Amino acid sequence: MEKQLKIPKESYEIKNFILAVRSQLDKNTMINWDSMAVWAGNRIPQYLWSAWRNELTKRGFTWQKFLRLMKYRTEDAILWAHDRISWMEFVEKIIESIDGPLGQALVEN
C-alpha cells in the first residue's frame, strides 16, 4: 500500500520569486510570460521533490519523470501564483496526477 503524500507547507518565498520573475519579464511586450515565470529555476518541482523524494522513488519516479509530470500542472501553478486556486488545491491536483493514469504511464516508460 502506497503512503499518501503529505501536502507540504505553502512556500510564499517561491510564490514571491515567481511573481518577481514575472514582473521583470513583463516589460514592453505582449508576450504572456506566466509559464516561464513558474518554471524559472524549477522552484516548485524542487520544493515538492525534496518533500516527496523518498516516497516517489519507491513508486518508480525519478527527478526527470517528476519534471515531466509537473509540466502537465503548469496551468495550475500559474493559477496558484496568481491566487486563483489555493496551495492545497494545486498540490492535490499534482498528487492526483502522480496517483492516476499519468503518473502510472510516466513510471512505466
Tell me what pLDDT residue 109 has. 83
State the maximum Cα–Cα separation within the chain, in Å, rounded to a whole number.
52
- CA distance readout (Å), 33 to 36, 73, 93: 5, 16, 22
Helix and strand numbers (H, E) in the chain are 7, 0
Q: Kindly list the averaged pLDDT for each block of 10 residues, start to end, along the chain of length 109.
A: 86 96 78 90 97 96 98 97 97 97 94
What DSSP character marks residue 3?
P
Cα separation of 76 and 68, whole Å?
15
Tell me the domain boundaries of the chain.
12-108
